[in-house]
Amino acid sequence: MTFRTLTGVACAALLVLGSGCAFKAPPYQPSINNVSLLKRETTQAASVGTFTPPAQVGAGASIGLRGGSMTSPVGNSYADYLAAALQADLALAQRLDGKSKIAISGALLGTDIDVAIGTATGYVEARFVVTRDGQVRFDKVKRGTHSWESSFAAAVAVPAAQNAYPVIVQNLLSGLFSDADFQSALK
């Protein structure tokens, strides 16, 4: 058994006993498809600015998973996770430059995972703003989703949901990178 599986089993056991379990989301892994898309579209390098969490107090700080909670391994919220994921994809595509006149910032509007029995689903929604020399060139809301088979057993369902979160974020960024208006803003 891997450490992640053992952690999931331990959390599930605690959930059954009635006490919550808190754990971190897996780190984001850059998407090869996203990186290829950025390179293929010959976009210019950009810097990544601040992403703000949702306006509701505490929103975006944790995601409930069958009585437990999952927090971001980056910063204080999933807005920080999103900014780090964007940086990771841009860096691997050699399109990240902290001194660029093109900046990408935004706001996390919402994120959640529903660990239903049968089919689990998750989403992340964010507003992305691209500026060049201080002028807005792109301003859109994007949503990434993902669904997967889920189990009645929390020991199986919770780790699967935990592992799905980076895929949800990859899907969000894929929608952003494939947007023709976004591509134009980075040219």
Q: What is the pLDDT of residues 55-80, one digit of tens each?
A: 875 678 899 998 899 999 999 999 99
Phi and psi dihedrals of 82, rounded to 5? -65, -45
Predicted local confidence at residue 67, as pLDDT? 83
* Helix residue ranges per DSSP H, 60-136: 78-92
Question: How does residue 4 score in pLDDT terms, banded at 50, 70 and 90?
Answer: low
What b/e string do you get for 150-170 counting C-beta neighbours within 10 Å, with b at 16 or more? beeebbbbbbbbbebbbbbbb
* Helix residue ranges per DSSP H, 20-145: 32-40, 78-92
Predicted local confidence at residue 82, as pLDDT? 98
Predicted local confidence at residue 19, as pLDDT? 42
Question: How does residue 135 score in pLDDT terms, banded at 50, 70 and 90?
Answer: very high
- The burial class, CB within 10 Å (0-12 / 13-18 / 19+), for 187 is exposed
Predicted local confidence at residue 57, as pLDDT? 59
Q: Which residue type does 2 have?
A: T
Q: What is the mean pLDDT of residues 18-40?
A: 86
Entry pTM = 0.86
In the chain, pLDDT over 90 holds for what percent of residues? 76
Poorest-confidence range of 48-62, 138-152, 165-179? 48-62
Q: What is the mean pLDDT of residues 89-102?
A: 96
User: Residue with structure tokens 């391994």?
Assistant: 73
Beta-carbon count within 10 A of 107 CB: 19
Fold exhibited by the domain 3-185: Rossmann fold (3.40.50)
pLDDT tens for each residue of 147-166:
999 989 988 999 999 999 99
